[in-house]
Every structure is written in C-alpha cells, then in structure tokens.
Amino acid sequence: MPAPTATPAVQPTGPQSPAASSTTVSGRYEGEMSSPSSGLDFLDLRIDVDKRYANSPVMQRVSGDFYQVNKVSVPGKPPKVSRVYRESWIVDQPEVKSTGGDLQITGTVKYWKGIHPPTKLTIVIGAANPGVTPTCLVTLKRSGGQPVVYNCKKTSDAFRSLNLEIDVCKSVNTPPLLPTFNISDHPIKPPEIPARVLTIEEAYREAGVKVTIRPKNSVVDDSDPEFGTWSDAELHNIMEKYFTQIAGPWPKWEMWGVLAGTYDEPAVGGIMFDAAAAFGSAGKSPERQGFAVFRKHEWFDKLTANAPASAGEAAAVRQFLYTWVHEAGHAFNFLHSWDKNRPEALSWMNYDWRYDSVNGPDSFWSNFLFRFDDEELIHLRHGDRSSVIMGGDPWASGGHLESPPGAEYLAAPPGAMSTVDGDQPVELLIRSKEYFEFMEPVSIELRVRNLFPDLPLTLDTRLNPEYGGVVIYIRRPDGRIVEYTPVMCKLAHPATRQLLPIQPNEEPGPDRYSEEISIGYGRYGFYFDEPGEYYVRALYQGTGDLLIPSNVHRLRVGTPLTRELDRTAQDYFSYEVGMSLCLEGSRSPFLKKGLDLLKEMSERNKESMLGAKLAMTVANSFTYPFYDLEERTGTPGETLKLERTHDADPEAALAATKSAVGVFEKTQQKALNLSYRQLVSQRVDCHVGMDQNEAAVKELSQLHNHLENNGANATVLQQVSNLAGTISNAATPMVRHRLWERVRAHDDLAATTTYEDFSKKVVRGQKTKSKSRKSGSVKAKAADVKGRAKPKRKVTKSARKK
C-alpha cells in the first residue's frame, strides 16, 4: 500500500477493516437526565458487551461520566448551555440478557472517587428496527434513594474520540511520515493473527478510540547546522509554539505529536516528553499533551516509502507503527508493562527485547497480536476520565487502573478534577502572588466574572468556603490532593449581587466580584506547612445548580530563610497560632501563646512580607475590645457575666502595622492589591476611631496611588477616592468592622450619595453582623451616628457605579 504523501500536509489514512455489525450495542451513548429532574444532568455512557469492530476484544464493562448541565435562560434566544464534568464510574462484568426483543444490562456501579451508597445500574436497549435509532434507557438506583433515569442515544461504535495533530521536522520531512503496516509483510508473526493493514487510526480504532488526525501540519525548521539533537525542554517548547490546541482550557481530547530527527540520547526512538520533572521529563501541568518520534533512530534506517521488499524493511515499518502507537499510549496515561507488574504482557506498551530476554529471540513478535492488553483496554475505554484524558491526572498518578503500585494516595478527591465542556456563563478565577515565604499566611483571591456579553447574572457572592458555596482543593508538594476544610461552618442568607455584562471596550469592574480568602489554616491544621510547589483549584456551586470549576493556580512556598525561622516553625505550626490566624487575631487567654508568638515574629521580621501579614493579624486583635466570661467561683448554677477584659487600642494597632505599610509599598505586585487594601482599611478604621481624619485620608491617598500603579481597575480606585472624600467631609462615625468585611463595608459606604444613606448603612451593617459574630466583634453605637453633622458636599452619583 503506498505511503501517504508528505508535503505539504500529513494525510490521515482511513480504516481498512470492515465496518462493525449494525446490530451490536457496544459503543458510546449520551443523553440527559429525564427523571427525577429533566435536563439537570448529562451522561456519557460506554457499553462494551459485544463485538463492536473487527479485531476489537470485548471487555465486558459498562462505564459512564456524569456531567452537571448549566443552562442559563436568555430571553428570546435558546438557553446558553455548558456542562461541568463531575465524576466517572464503571460496572465490571455486567449481566446481559434479552427480554422480549430488548436487551437488558444490569450490574453494580463502582465509582472511582469518593464515597457513594451502593448503586445498581439497569440499561434497557430497545430492539433494533431499520431506520429507527434504538432507545437506551439508563437507570441508576442508589440504595435508599429514588431512581435516576437518563434517556440516551448511541453516537459512535468507538468509546472515546481523540484529535491528533502531527507536525514534522524539516530534516525528516520525507515519506513515509506516518506508518502503514501490512501485517502480512513480515514473516515473524503469530500464526492466527488476522491479516490486515494497520495505521495509527486503525490500531486505536481496534482499541476503542476514534483517532482523527488533523489534516494540516506545520514543518519545524531544524536545519540550523549547529542544532544536533532534541532535549525534552526543546520538545516541550515547540509543542507550546506549534500545537494549535495548546491554548484554552484543559483537559481535552487533543494530542500533539512531532516527527523529529534525533533525541539527546540516540538510543531513544520516541518519547512522551510531557510529564513531570519527577519522572525525568520536561512537562508541567497540564501533562500528557504531546510526544515525539525520532525518525533518525536506527530502528528506521530501512524505512521506505514503498512497500517493503525485505523482512528488514518490513521490520522498520512495523517498528515505526509500534513507536507512534506506544508514545500515544503514554499520553493516555499508560505506563510500560513492567512498571505495572506485567513484564510479559503482549502489548504495545512492552518492549520487544524485554519480552525476548525472558522468552527467547523474536518471541515477542511471534506472539504479539498488535493490541493493548486487557487491563490497558479497560483503562482506555472505561477508566476514570481524569486519568485518561490529556491534561487530566498527571502521568503515573494514582487511584486508577494504570497507576503504579503504591500511588493510591495520589488519588484526587471527588470534584477536584471537574472541568467545563462548552461555553461557561461564569469564570471563577483563583490568583495570588506566586511565591510565599515559609510560614507566611497563604491567601488567594477568588473572583467571579460574568462571561456573557449581553446578559446580567445574579450570583451569590459568598465565596468564602465557610459558607459552603465554594470548595477549594490543594495539591501539596508530595502530590496528594486534599480538600481545604475551614474551621467554621456558617449558615447565612445568600449575598446576591448582579454582575453586569460588559463589552470588550468597556472598563472592567461591574462584571466581576473579588474576595480574598485565607486558606493557610483549616479544620485539619496548616495546609501550606511544607516548602515546595502547590496547586490550588476551586469549585463554585451557585444557586440553581450552577457548578463552575476554577483554573488551576500554582504557587510556591519557600524554604526558611534563616535557621532561626526554621526552629520557630516548631512553635508556629501549632493550634494556638493557627486559630489566631484563622480568627484574624484573638485576645482569648487560650490563644495567648499564639498571639504572643505572632507579635514576636512580626517584630523580628518586620521588613518582610511574612512580618507584614502577621502584623495585620496582631493589629486586628487590638482594633476592638474583647469580652470574656468572668472566672467561675464554683457555685452550682452560677450565672457568669461577660465582661470586657481588653479595651480597643487603635494606637497599638497602628504601631503594629507601621512597618507593614512600607513593605507593601515596596512590593509592586498586583496580586497584593487586595491585602494592601485590607491593611489600609484597618488602619483607616483606627485613625477614624481616634479622630485622625487627616491621617486616614493621607493613607487612603497613598493607597490610591499604589493601586493605580499596580493595575487596579477604575472602579476600585473610585471606591477608594469616594471613601477618602466621605471621611474628609463627614464627622467621624463611630463604627468598627471585622477585618475582612471592612473592605466591603467601605465599598458600600463609598457608594452612598448622602450622609443619611451613609449612616443608615453603617447602622444596618452593624445590626446584621451582631447576629453572626465571632469572638471580638463590637456592637455599633447608633446614637453616635445619628447625631452627626451633615457633610458639606454630596458624593456624586457616578460613585454609585460598581
């Protein structure tokens, strides 16, 4: 069979085997939930119980992926739909029987992640009639729950689909660029093997994956005479440049391959270079996106564009096919056979010489049927989606069929791998500064943004995980993925806010809402207590079953800068310090040890961001009085009175954070804008409390300049200006706010048009806070506010715009 033409494009070759029988049921199905709630969920289903394609083994499995459907109504237009992948499941060895023309498949569902009640699966596929697509009704019945029903339709006889983009280096841009191997061409083969012609597409079609090779390819000019061999870093770099699908959200069913010259190590004929450095590769997350085949390897010395005329030429074509299929297999998260304790597997993922070293020369090719082994087929067809899809689980990660022994601890909790298919209505963004000093409290900015250009969205903007609407996942340096669990669980009314659509030329601001969340300490202790690389991701669960996953954000925690800091870690990573940080400062005698250490560390490290952030917590404990119960006398039935044990000391709070201001001023990072705003807000509160309005305005002015130089948008700058204007024009309101809520309260205050509105909001805000207080909050003095003089000039209406 002639090899495909090489230039200018790589021509994909189609399948040569006969089509599958039209009466088989195996293949891929999909459909929406019909009961109990129509359209809320979506199922991607794979049935593997009868022969769907020639030379394609049957694995006797059923598997599925659940998606949540986000539908946003648009007046006068079809709803905007996106799907968020949630989780995958599998049924081993289902029972299959015919009942009156219909086919019934039943079995027990096994979920890959999380804890679920026992679940039974029943699939009923209607009898096949000419011209009519058979119905496929899928029912999942959870123990103690009501049945969940999906109405599905068959979409393919393959279980998965993949787009493969292939580029070629100029030095090897001669045919054949892709393999076409006739099994009959080489004399060494299993006697029973079906004669056929194999290509990459055909090999994977037999495995159960429909591979489509993109028709156009790029030519990488490697003709520089100084250039010799490819390194992993260089391969990864050209993938980033040439792979047309590299941009955009991952994971997705897209893969890139390149036909290159020679690798740094000439013994290497192909490599999947896109895995973590820990595996000796160049990749960073997302992984498993690309691979390379090295045409100048001695394996391919006898490769010819014509039909092979000798066993040597046939062996070269055979090896060419093997290398392409093998490397793509790595991108599907396959390990080598011996790495899975299957050194004698007759699989694309084994090395022929390794098999031969145990079983004798040529024994591999004498027995190999040009397929993956059964466990690999089950993984490929029915594995946990995150562990198969490109850019999903990192290579060789745990908790799935292809994971290496002992890697189960690397399994991700449910939800951690959720991704969006289609247009999503809301963006959930995580960002922070990229580097945190060792022991520096870790906080991230969570931002929701309306992505519709023409539709306002009303969202609950309580983004702190304490309220249950957002879940945060953290991948630690050792690879474990844990769910951040806050110390507190709060029940409250939603804080809904309308995010307006904006056009590309409009100033951002009204379309988004941000909140800074501290995630350093939670119910199970400190989450960032080790130096190293962390990844953070969030899931937002809004009203109406809206489910939005965030980006994956990377940050690094540094090593202790001094031996002294290293020794201090012993005391720092303690309950008292953790709770002091979590409560944003506390004068409780039970946490005194923690606060004292924070005070000491903030003074010793006052020139660093570590010291600055600890100082904010210390200062917060001074900004309002603290009440505690009087000591027990031991009298039975006694009533203990709350008494003030500490007065507010704004002067001490200001002294504690004086150096912190300088640290933030010196650090020109947009990621610190929110933190700096918090700090100044706290200081402004103190100044205002001490009737130092001029000092308060001066700090706000400094903040304004800093934010302006560090990329803050116009809305934020306006809010700061408004607040400065309000303070300078009004008599001092005696208000106190909690550290974090200060920023939002000030935003509200700054948006008011008259002083009456201003004072009403302050009073109302204080009344609301008193219902859900943590230790340290203070009741507002409404009488103080009512008696204030009116401002000399009104805040303009433009200040209302948020």
Partner 1 sequence: MIVTEIPIPAIREVGLLLCGERFEMARLRVDFQEGFADDEVDVRINGRESLHREGVTTKRMLGLAMTSEVEVPADQTVDVEIELPKKHLSKTISLPPSESVYLGVSVSKGELQFTVSPKAFGYA
Tell me if 539 sits within 8 A of 490, measured CB to CB.
Answer: no
Within 10 angstroms of residue 278's Cβ, the number of other Cβ atoms is: 10
Among residues 124, 182, 229, 338, which is the contact residue for partner 1, using CB under 8 A? Answer: 338
| Cα–Cα separations (whole angstroms), residue 550 to 287, 398, 420, 428 | 18, 22, 9, 5
- Return the amino acid letter for 713: N
| Cα–Cα separations (whole angstroms), residue 172 to 140, 302, 303, 314 | 53, 14, 12, 19
The residue among 373 and 584 lying less far from partner 1, judged by its C-beta, is 373
The residue among 315 and 614 lying less far from partner 1, judged by its C-beta, is 315
Question: Under rule CB under 8 A, which residues in 545-574 are in contact with partner 1?
Answer: none
The residue among 354 and 497 lying less far from partner 1, judged by its C-beta, is 354
Would you state the structure tokens that stand for residue 526, as one six-digit string?
A: 């400190």
How far apart, in whole angstroms, are the C-alpha atoms of residue 496 and residue 460? Answer: 4
311 φ, ψ (degrees, to nearest 5)? -65, -35
Among residues 230, 243, 322, 528, which is the contact residue for partner 1, using CB under 8 A? Answer: 322
The residue among 330 and 381 lying less far from partner 1, judged by its C-beta, is 330
Q: Does 272 bind partner 1 (CB under 8 A)?
A: yes
Q: Considering only the stretches 140-148, 268-276, 409-417, 560-568, report the one whose residues sit in contact with partner 1 under the rule CB under 8 A.
A: 268-276
Q: SS3 letters for 674-695?
A: HHHHHHHHHHHHHHHHCCCHHH
The residue among 405 and 637 lying less far from partner 1, judged by its C-beta, is 405
Question: Under rule CB under 8 A, which residues in 192-231 are in contact with partner 1?
Answer: none
Q: Does 280 bind partner 1 (CB under 8 A)?
A: yes
Residues binding partner 1: what is the number (CB under 8 A)? 31
The residue among 273 and 332 lying less far from partner 1, judged by its C-beta, is 273
Query: What is the nearest approach in angstroms of partner 1 to the Cβ of residue 292?
Result: 10
The residue among 265 and 756 lying less far from partner 1, judged by its C-beta, is 265
How far apart, in whole angstroms, are the C-alpha atoms of residue 323 and residue 229? Answer: 18
Among residues 27, 94, 257, 270, which is the contact residue for partner 1, using CB under 8 A? Answer: 270
Q: What is the DSSP string of 406-420?
A: TGGGGPPPTTTT--E
**Pattern 461-500, partner 1, x by CB under 8 A:** ----------------------------------------
Query: What is the nearest approach in angstroms of partner 1 to the Cβ of residue 275?
Result: 6
Nearest residue to 560 via CA among 438, 477, 435: 438
The residue among 268 and 455 lying less far from partner 1, judged by its C-beta, is 268
Q: Considering only the stretches 53-61, 265-273, 545-553, 681-689, report the one whose residues sit in contact with partner 1 under the rule CB under 8 A.
A: 265-273
How far apart, in whole angstroms, are the C-alpha atoms of residue 792 and residue 802? Answer: 24
Nearest residue to 256 via CA among 228, 232, 281, 288: 288
Distance between first and last Cα of the chain: 67
How far apart, in whole angstroms, are the C-alpha atoms of residue 332 and residue 390? Answer: 7
The residue among 298 and 651 lying less far from partner 1, judged by its C-beta, is 298
651 φ, ψ (degrees, to nearest 5)? -65, -45
**Pattern 368-407, partner 1, x by CB under 8 A:** ---------------------------xx-----------
Query: What is the nearest approach in angstroms of partner 1 to the Cβ of residue 420?
Result: 30
How far apart, in whole angstroms, are the C-alpha atoms of residue 794 and residue 64? Answer: 61
CA angle 709–745–755, rounded 5-degree value: 100
Q: Does 433 bind partner 1 (CB under 8 A)?
A: no
Q: Does 339 bind partner 1 (CB under 8 A)?
A: yes
The residue among 329 and 441 lying less far from partner 1, judged by its C-beta, is 329
How far apart, in whole angstroms, are the C-alpha atoms of residue 204 and residue 535? Answer: 33
Which residues does 234 contact at the CB level (< 8 Å), separation at least 6? none
The residue among 268 and 500 lying less far from partner 1, judged by its C-beta, is 268
**Pattern 343-372, partner 1, x by CB under 8 A:** --------x-xx--x---------------
The residue among 276 and 655 lying less far from partner 1, judged by its C-beta, is 276
Among residues 115, 267, 491, 783, which is the contact residue for partner 1, using CB under 8 A? Answer: 267
629 φ, ψ (degrees, to nearest 5)? -80, 145
Query: What is the nearest approach in angstroms of partner 1 to the Cβ of residue 384?
Result: 21
The residue among 63 and 350 lying less far from partner 1, judged by its C-beta, is 350
Query: What is the nearest approach in angstroms of partner 1 to the Cβ of residue 356?
Result: 8
Query: What is the nearest approach in angstroms of partner 1 to the Cβ of residue 336?
Result: 6
Among residues 95, 221, 240, 265, which is the contact residue for partner 1, using CB under 8 A? Answer: 265
Which residues does 631 contact at the CB level (< 8 Å), separation at least 6? none
Q: Considering only the stretches 184-192, 279-287, 483-491, 633-641, report the one whose residues sit in contact with partner 1 under the rule CB under 8 A.
A: 279-287
Query: What is the nearest approach in angstroms of partner 1 to the Cβ of residue 361?
Result: 9
The residue among 281 and 419 lying less far from partner 1, judged by its C-beta, is 281
How would you classify residue 161: left for phi > 0, otherwise alpha for psi between -120 and 50, otherwise beta?
Answer: beta
Question: Under rule CB under 8 A, which residues in 287-316 are in contact with partner 1?
Answer: 297-299
Within 10 angstroms of residue 409's Cβ, the number of other Cβ atoms is: 11
The residue among 401 and 597 lying less far from partner 1, judged by its C-beta, is 401
Query: What is the nearest approach in angstroms of partner 1 to the Cβ of residue 267?
Result: 5
Q: Does 526 bind partner 1 (CB under 8 A)?
A: no
Among residues 85, 89, 273, 484, which is the contact residue for partner 1, using CB under 8 A? Answer: 273
Query: What is the nearest approach in angstroms of partner 1 to the Cβ of residue 193?
Result: 22
Q: Does 236 bind partner 1 (CB under 8 A)?
A: no
Among residues 238, 271, 430, 499, which is the contact residue for partner 1, using CB under 8 A? Answer: 271
How far apart, in whole angstroms, are the C-alpha atoms of residue 699 and residue 683? Answer: 8
Query: What is the nearest approach in angstroms of partner 1 to the Cβ of residue 234?
Result: 16
Which residues does 763 contact at the CB level (< 8 Å), separation at least 6? 780, 782, 785
How far apart, in whole angstroms, are the C-alpha atoms of residue 570 and residue 376? Answer: 46
The residue among 299 and 624 lying less far from partner 1, judged by its C-beta, is 299
Q: Does 323 bind partner 1 (CB under 8 A)?
A: yes
Nearest residue to 483 via CA among 436, 442, 433, 522: 522
How far apart, in whole angstroms, are the C-alpha atoms of residue 349 and residue 329? Answer: 7
How far apart, in whole angstroms, are the C-alpha atoms of residue 347 and residue 339? Answer: 13
H helices present in 606-672, as ranges:
609-622, 650-656, 658-666
Among residues 56, 68, 88, 281, which is the contact residue for partner 1, using CB under 8 A? Answer: 281
Among residues 41, 44, 201, 327, which is the contact residue for partner 1, using CB under 8 A? Answer: 327
Tell me if 119 sits within 8 A of 143, measured CB to CB.
Answer: yes
Q: Considering only the stretches 215-223, 277-285, 707-715, 753-761, report the one whose residues sit in contact with partner 1 under the rule CB under 8 A.
A: 277-285
How far apart, in whole angstroms, are the C-alpha atoms of residue 181 and residue 314? Answer: 8
The residue among 336 and 646 lying less far from partner 1, judged by its C-beta, is 336
Tell me if 715 sits within 8 A of 750, measured CB to CB.
Answer: no
Query: What is the nearest approach in angstroms of partner 1 to the Cβ of residue 360?
Result: 12
Nearest residue to 319 via CA among 368, 279, 359, 280: 368
Among residues 116, 214, 336, 744, which is the contact residue for partner 1, using CB under 8 A? Answer: 336
What b-and-e string marks burial along 758-788, b requiring 16 or more CB atoms within 10 Å of the CB? Answer: bbebbbebbeebeeeeeebbbebebebbeeb
- Is residue 190 helix, strand or coil? coil
Which sign does the torsion angle of CA 782, 786, 789, 794 carry? positive
- Contact residues for partner 1, defined by CB under 8 A: 265-273, 275, 279-281, 297-299, 319, 322-323, 326-327, 330, 336, 338-339, 351, 353-354, 357, 395-396
